[in-house]
Amino acid sequence: MNVSDSIRYIGVYDDTIDLFEGQYPVPQGISYNSYLILDEKVALMDTVDQRATAKWLDNLQEALGGRTIDYLIVSHMEPDHAGSLFKIAELYPEMTIVGNAKTFPMISQFFPIDLTGRTLVVKEGDTLSLGRHTLTFTMAPMVHWPEVMMTYESEEKIVFSADAFGRFGDPESGEEWTPEARRYFINIVGKYGAQVQAVLKKVGGLDVRTICPLHGPVLQDNLGFYIGLYDTWSSYRSEEKGVLIAYASIHGHTAEAAAYLADQLKAKGETAELINLGRADLSEAVAQAFRFDRMVLACSTYDGGIFTPMDAFLHRLRAKSYQNRTVYLVENGTWAPMAAKQMRAALEEMKNISVAEPVVTIRSAMNDAVKESLNHLI
Ligand code: FEO
């Protein structure tokens, strides 16, 4: 997966990790991308998670072909990328570490390392010539940490985009980019939509032929497609017209109502996706919520309030700045239905959520009256 003759991919695909960042299931693994620019000077673009140091060093040595490293560009200090920084700094004591004012305090926090005389502090618009290749640095704070910066290489028109445009999975699998890029973006960077918008504007004026992210495949064709999705996600617009029906059901009656509603919507020609919050991973549920313009929350009453899986879902939606959507409520309760009232209160804490009326209330089990209400819900 080389980028060009002089820019080598030396990242590592990790299929041994089960939870990325300690919480996101990655059944298809994830890659820690790193690149090597070979010119009169040699620049290493980021390191990798320490889980992958040995394999990465093998890749690095092979790509170097006996040369040394002049610069290490640190785009992002999160340990999935900077985890091998200490090791490479030890191995190449003549190497200059390139970062911004926020990078170096983080290096000191993570590693017991003295970089005196080995640092180059860059700021917005600064350039670094490697020979034929010139790097221009642009700050991308909170995409996804404060110290993040992107690098534009003007000879080959490449953006090294840090976490942006990354996705879970094997970068060489050829699988559809969008599903795992969406889940990655919404859950990891989704809270920082305004900051992503700012970066999109900054790089929007550049002639870009290739995007080199820190996870997932190198992007070289149809870049407008990927940039368009990033614009949609980061501005909290829906990706498509459709309804996510997210349900939390204790004994199956609420699930039955959700399935009935999905069938009715599909019969009307709507796109409708069902998700069982008791089973699904929340990262996927939240990504699907962002995907569609409307959502139905169907929930049993539990302990006088919201059934636990729905409560967790609402908490995650709020944390990821879910907004600008219409939400329909279906509740169930045998003696004192309370789920809708409390779901509404949770939704009112989010920005620009329209809760549709009326709410459908199920008393224990489905019946014809509930079906009639569901028929007219959307
Ligand atoms: Fe892939 Fe924010 O680290």
- 5-23 residue pLDDT tens: 999 999 999 999 999 999 9
pLDDT digit string (tens) for 71-117? 999 999 999 999 999 999 999 999 999 999 999 999 999 999 999 99
Ligand 1 pocket residue status of 147, Cβ below 6 Å = no
Report the DSSP pairing between strands 35-38 and 42-45: antiparallel
Secondary structure string (H, E, C) spanning the chain: CCCCCCEEECCEEECCCCEECCCEECCCCEEECCEEEECCCEEEECCCCHHHHHHHHHHHHHHHCCCCCCEEECCCCCHHHHCCHHHHHHHCCCCEEEECCCHHHHHHHHCCCCCCCCEEECCCCCEEECCCCEEEEEECCCCCCCCCEEEEECCCCEEECCCCCCCCCCCCCCCCCHHHHHHHHHHHHHHHHHHHHHHHHHHHCCCCCEEECCCCCCECCCHHHHHHHHHHHHCCCCCEEEEEEEEECCCCHHHHHHHHHHHHHHHCCCCEEEEECCCCCHHHHHHHHHHEEEEEEEEEEECCEECHHHHHHHHHHHHCCCEEEEEEEEEECCCCCCHHHHHHHHHHCCEEEEECCCCEEECCCCCHHHHHHHHCCC
- Using the atom order of ligand 1, give the atom closest to the CA of residue 188: 2
Give the residue whose CA is nearest to atom 3 of ligand 1: 78
Q: Give all strands (DSSP E) within 79-133, no chain letters.
A: 96-99, 119-121, 127-129
Residue 101 to residue 148: CA distance in whole angstroms: 11
CA of 34 to the centre of ligand 1 (A): 12
How far, in Å, is the centroid of ligand 1 from the Cα of 146? 12
Q: Where are the domains of the chain?
A: 7-234, 240-375
Q: How far is the CA of 202 from the centre of ligand 1 (A)?
A: 20
Q: Is the CB of 180 under 6 A from ligand 1?
A: no
List of the chain residues with pLDDT < 70: 1
Please indicate whether residue 143, judged by its CB atom, sits closer than 6 Å to ligand 1.
no
CA of 244 to the centre of ligand 1 (A): 28
Output the pLDDT for position 343: 98
CA of 178 to the centre of ligand 1 (A): 18
pLDDT in tens, 44-65: 999 999 999 999 999 999 999 9
Smallest CA separation from ligand 1 atom 1, residue: 163
Our answer on whether the CB atom of 81 is closer than 6 Å to any ligand 1 atom is yes
**Is residue 14 within 6 Å of ligand 1 at its C-beta?**
no
Domain spanning 7-234: CATH superfamily: Ribonuclease Z/Hydroxyacylglutathione hydrolase-like (3.60.15.10)
In angstroms, what is the span from residue 24 Cα to ligand 1's centroid? 13
Q: Is the CB of 182 under 6 A from ligand 1?
A: no
What count of other Cβ atoms lies within 10 Å of the Cβ of residue 222?
10
Q: How far is the CA of 79 from the centre of ligand 1 (A)?
A: 8
Say how many Å lie between the CA of residue 17 and the centre of ligand 1: 15
Q: Can you give the pLDDT at residue 203? A: 87
**Tokens 């590693």, residue located:** 111
- The CATH number given to 240-375 is 3.40.50.360
Q: Which atom of ligand 1 is nearest to the CA of 215?
A: 1
Angstrom distance (rounded) from CA 315 to CA 345: 12
What local confidence, expressed as pLDDT, does residue 204 receive?
Answer: 86
Atom nearest to 163 CA in ligand 1: 1
